[in-house]
Every structure is written in structure tokens, then in C-alpha cells.
Amino acid sequence: MKLPDTSETIAAQATPPGAGAIAVIRLSGPSAFAAAAAFLSPPPAAPAHRMAYLLAAKDGTKLVDRVVTLFYRGPASYTGEDTVEISCHGSPYIIRTILNLAVKNGARIAAPGEFTLRAFLNGKLDLAQAEAVGELIASASAGAHRAAITQAEGAISGEVRSLRTGLVALLAEIEARLDDSYGDIPALEKRAFLRRAAVARKKAQALAAGFEAGRGIREGVKVVITGAPNSGKSSLLNSLLGYDRALVSREAGTTRDTLEAELDIDGFLVRFTDTAGLNARPATQLEKAGMRRASSAMARADTVLLVKDASIAETPSDRRAEKEVAASAAAAETIRIFNKADLPVKRRSTAGAETISCRTGKGLARLRGRLVARQKNIFAEGAQAIVTSARHFEAFFEAARELSALEEIIKNKTPGLELAAEHLRGALGALASILGETTPEDVLADIFKNFCVGK
């Protein structure tokens, strides 16, 4: 059974999800220092109280982020326990990876309101404040928070449930034999049992891996900049980036190949691809090849910025660009950009378009915000899913580990069934954080359904 227990070390994001460029991850509990030191490099041997360290968060040898870390020795901390606060970049991928690292190294994901609960239990809050603790936990466990968790868990609860049903059946196989006083039940069919155990283990591993990867967010938003030659595509890229990534000239067709650049906007990764201008009458083979590459980049885009020079009237190349975008980037969101707004305007902007000037910077902030608006929404809605997924990750990671140990035991010539049962119980215990307890009655029900036992 998993009850909230202050002898365990807990971890969670302390800052509001999805809000800022910086996120704070907090670890609290007796092994908070050890858990943090296990993935922070170089690990400070005896970290000084309330001293900030610049450290590298590493997943194995892979650098996840450079983080500012504060160590608080209990009882002089918010919770009254040893506490570590890790300030990292606010990307969901980084946050999730760091939380997963904390879990891998002995922490568990905090239950809603648990930091405050500990502060209360350790006498860091007085009785008046304690009223608020109850309310906090209540709202967290019963209100919107729980609804969010329920929603997020609904998506995978079917899979978890079937995983649990499989594990209960496996445990019943073992328990029936352990509790058999009359030798009525034939010996365990090891091969069939191992097959079923491996299926369950692989499923748990796959579920854990799915949450660990978080592909969509890690890969960022793919934005392709396109338009007629000399409409100011590369200028736009440079302006958005804040530095000169692309070579710019007054001459049309300066950009021949596609050009890539990454930008962090409000903690979200945006990947730009600048492309060759779409010329209605391409002059050279090289120019044609550049245009083909532009089309294929658009096909993979989340968002296409179709740039138009607002200081001249519409050209055949503009019309060609519209056609290309419609053909190649049907799945992407298209934002029309009326560029060069600092010059006298020769054509009117259309609905949903952005008017900007790379020279004066007009409209750029608005455009930046618009590029990650959708991501921000997804993140805000799925805010709990991030925490939840870390909790799921913990559950699946643990279940898979127990099942591997189970398989090792069953493979023995004379498998210790009572030990096998311990690992199956461990795996079911790990899943309990998602679906609640598996009681002995559940297992007994399975035994009596499937085995004719008793005198």
C-alpha cells in the first residue's frame, strides 16, 4: 500500500506549469541531497546551506540542462526536511527529464499538496495556516486538479487496467500453489508463465518509455518561412532570432538552399527553416532545386509563414507562392506576413495576417507569441499530464523492474515461488498509485475462479 509517507523523498515542479522561461523543481525528504547529487554534475560533496551552485543535469552522459541548484538543510527549509531546489529552463522536456531522473534515483512524485502537508506536519505552519493546508489538499485532490489527473489518466487507464488484470492472474497462479495444502494443483507451467510475464514487462517498459520520450514537445514547433523572392524572408528570420543567421541582400534569390535555426520562445523550442524564394519564372536549375526543397520543407511544417512585400503590388511570384503553400503545406497553419510595413503600403493586409517591419521591429513580438500560442495552450491544458506522466513513469518503471526480477526467478531450475510472489506484489504495488490498491481479495477471487482448491 502506498500511503503518503514522510520517510520517502518526494519531487515535483514547484513553479506553475508552462508559465515561464525558468522552472523550479523541488526535492524534499531524507534522501533529497543524495537523489539530486546522483544526476547533477559535479555533485557537491557537502553542499552548503542555501548556497547556489551552477551544475549540469545529466541523463547518463547526456547533458539535459545547466541548472542553478540550492540546497537547504532541514529543518531550515519550507518543508522542514532536507530540500533541493533545481532551477532549470522551462521546457517541458527538460522538466520532465529532470523529474524522471529524480524518480530513477530514489524520489517519488509528490502527491498534490504534499510539500505543504509536510511543512504542516513538521510544525512549519501554525494551526491557522493548517486550515489552508486542508483546503489546498482538498481542492487538489477533489477539485480541478483531480479532474485533470483523471482526464489524463483516462487515456491510458484502460491499458493499465489490462496490465493489472494480467498481473493479478499471474499472482493467482503463484499464490494458489503456495496456499495449496493438499498438492492438488499441478506444477507451474514455466514457459507459458514466462511468456505472459514478458508480455507484461514489455508493456510496462513501453508505457514508461512513451512517457519518457515526450516526442512532440521535445522536437519543437517546425516553422517554415516562404514567399516570393526578395519579400524579406531571411530578414524576418534574423529579426525573429535577434541575430544575423541568414545572409541578406537587396538582390532577389540570395537564399538558395534551406537554412535552419532554433529559437527558444517562452520556454518552447521553435525550429525555423528559411527557404529559397518561390519564383514564378525560375531562371536556373539551381533556383529550381532550391524551390523543390522549399516545398518538401513545407510538407513537414507545423506552421508556414508566407511572407509578402507590402510595399509593392502583388506579383506572379506571390500568386505562385500561394499556390505552392496550398499544395504542399495543407496540414500546417499558414500565417501571412505583410512585411516592410515601414515603407509606403501598396497592398492591404488580409484577415488573420500579421503586419510587421523587420527594420523597426513592429509586430515581431506579436508574431513570436503567436508561433507558440498553440503549444502554450496544449501545455496549459495538459499541465497535470506532465506531472501525472512523471507519476506514471515512476509506476511503470518500477513495475517493469519488478517483472524483470520475477522472470529471473522463474527461470531458475527450482524457482522460489514465494520470492516470485514478492516481485509480482511489488509490480502491483507500483501500479497502485494509478488505479488504487490490489487487495488480497482480488487475488483470492482469481484463485477460486481458476483453481478447484480445498478439501
- Name which position in 34, 140, 194, 289 contacts other proteins (CB under 8 A): 140
443 makes contact with other proteins (CB under 8 A): yes
What letter would DSSP give residue 279?
-
**For residues 184 and 257, which CB has a smaller minimum distance to other proteins in the complex?**
184
Question: Does position 413 bind other proteins by CB under 8 A?
Answer: no
Name the residue nearer to other proteins (CB basis): 119 or 237. 119
Min dist CB 4 to other proteins, Å, is 4
- The strand order across the sheet containing 354-355 reads 259-265, 268-274, 221-227, 303-309, 333-339, 354-355
- The span from the first CA to the last CA of the chain, in angstroms, equals 32
- How far, in Å, are 42, 95, 98 from residue 67 at the CA level? 12, 11, 10
The reply to whether 46 sits near other proteins by the rule CB under 8 A is no
Q: Judged by CB under 8 A, does residue 448 bind other proteins?
A: yes
Asked whether 423 and 200 are in contact (CB, 8 A), the reply is: no
Point out which span in 50-58, 78-86, 96-104, 131-139 binds other proteins (CB under 8 A). 131-139
Contact 428, 168 (CB under 8 A): yes
For residues 233 and 325, what is the distance between their CA atoms, to the nearest angstrom?
Answer: 15
Based on the shown chain and the rule CB under 8 A, indicate whether residue 452 belongs to the binding site for other proteins: yes
Among 65, 82, 114, 302, binds other proteins (CB under 8 A): 114
407 binds other proteins (CB under 8 A): no
Query: What's phi and psi for 363, nearest 5 deg?
Result: 80, -5
**Is the alpha carbon torsion for 420, 209, 62, 373 positive or negative?**
negative
Which region, judged by CB under 8 A, interacts with other proteins, from 36-44, 64-72, 125-133, 353-361?
Answer: 125-133
- Find how far residue 379's CA is from the centre of its chain: 9
Pairwise CA distance, residues 268 & 123, whole Å: 39
| Residue among 61, 181, 285, 350 that touches other proteins (CB under 8 A) | 181
Nearest to 277 by CA among 311, 320, 230, 335: 230
Does residue 78 belong to the site contacting other proteins (CB under 8 A)? Answer: no
Q: Which residues bind other proteins (CB under 8 A)?
A: 1-5, 7-8, 111-114, 117, 120-121, 127, 130-131, 133-135, 137-138, 140-142, 146, 175, 177-182, 184, 414, 416-419, 421-422, 425, 433, 436-437, 439-441, 443-444, 447-448, 452-455
